[in-house]
Amino acid sequence: MWKSRWGGKSVGRLTGSTIKSPEIGQRWLGSLLLIVLLGVLPACGSKKAVSVNEVKHRGKLVAGVKFDSKPFGFLDTDGQLKGYDIDLMRELSRRLLGKEKGVEFQQVLSSTRVIAINSGSVDAVAATMTITPERAKVVDFSIPYLTAHQAVVVPSDSPARHLKDLDGKTILFVLGTTSEGNIKKRLPDAKYTGFKSSTDAFSALKAGRGDAMTTDDTIISGFLSDNCGFRVLDEKLSDEPYGLAFRKGGAETPDDLRVQVNQSLKVMEKDGTLARLKAKWVDGMLKS
């Protein structure tokens, strides 16, 4: 079951009001978005973290996932929602609720993940979300379940071989990501254009509207599995440990959703489930 409440044609009931244009390059708007995401909204979020008993009573776990980030959460050509984060949530649902189909999926974008959690729209976010100290001030994270790395993709015929070759050039990124801050630190003199989704940023790169695009290597590998004519620079900018995110204020009791997810993730690490998911969705793509 999935619900495109913020996605597809209606990418945002919520995003529509915060991001009016699919392409927002101005630095001030990026900063404003950051203030909103990190500052105001968490203070407004009155909802509490959820317990597994509450989820069982309700009969479904509501998960915020990406719909456009192959191989983590994406709508496949058959119209089905697939990917690592989708399988991970189904597996957690099987282990915690006793049924694999106990998850309702709602679309989140990088810039709406925190809002989705703190508004109470979703119980958890599984959406290529890197655990950072700044984000940990406004949401609670699970233990990491996979580590990606920030990378840069350029057209195959680009003269750029190293990151420094892109200084002064136009670099495309996704709003609400760690990628933005990391690349701006490394290349302060580049020009930047932000997009609401990685699909939009990659489409702009394809259309020649920038010299390079940056996001996690895992997400870039998803685009390159469907597109020829691009290559990834060898240099990686950062480690990006992915965690599930939850509303703050969990009871830390045995019944707390995050506590139980962490227990399950530890078991899934030991019993090979996480390795199996990585082999199924990620490893083959990163090599290609």
Q: How far is the CB of 26 from ligand GLU (least distance, A)?
A: 20
User: Which residues contact residue 3 at a Cβ distance below 8 angstroms, ignoring those fewer than 6 apart?
Assistant: 104, 105, 106, 107
Q: How far is the CB of 259 from ligand GLU (least distance, A)?
A: 23
User: Nearest Cα to 212, choosing from 261, 273, 157, 268?
Assistant: 157
Q: What is the DSSP code (8-state) at residue 37?
A: I
Q: Please say which residue, 127 or 166, places its beta carbon nearer to ligand GLU.
A: 127
Q: Please say which residue, 52 or 127, places its beta carbon nearer to ligand GLU.
A: 127
CA distances (Å), origin 236, targets 154, 186, 218: 14, 11, 12
CA distances (Å), origin 75, targets 152, 210, 247: 24, 26, 26
Q: How far is the CB of 130 from ligand GLU (least distance, A)?
A: 4
- Chain centre to alpha carbon of residue 247: 16
Q: How far is the CB of 115 from ligand GLU (least distance, A)?
A: 14
In a 3-state reduction of DSSP, which class is residue 273? helix
Q: How far is the CB of 54 from ligand GLU (least distance, A)?
A: 27
Dig out the tokens for 30 from the structure. 């990026």
Q: Please say which residue, 45 or 222, places its beta carbon nearer to ligand GLU.
A: 222
Contacts with ligand GLU, residue ranges (CB under 6 A): 110, 128-130, 174, 177-179, 215-216, 240
Q: Please say which residue, 96 or 129, places its beta carbon nearer to ligand GLU.
A: 129
User: Which residues contact residue 242 at a Cβ distance below 8 angstroms, ignoring those fewer than 6 apart?
Assistant: 128, 129, 130, 131, 144, 145, 146, 147, 148
Q: Please say which residue, 177 or 260, places its beta carbon nearer to ligand GLU.
A: 177
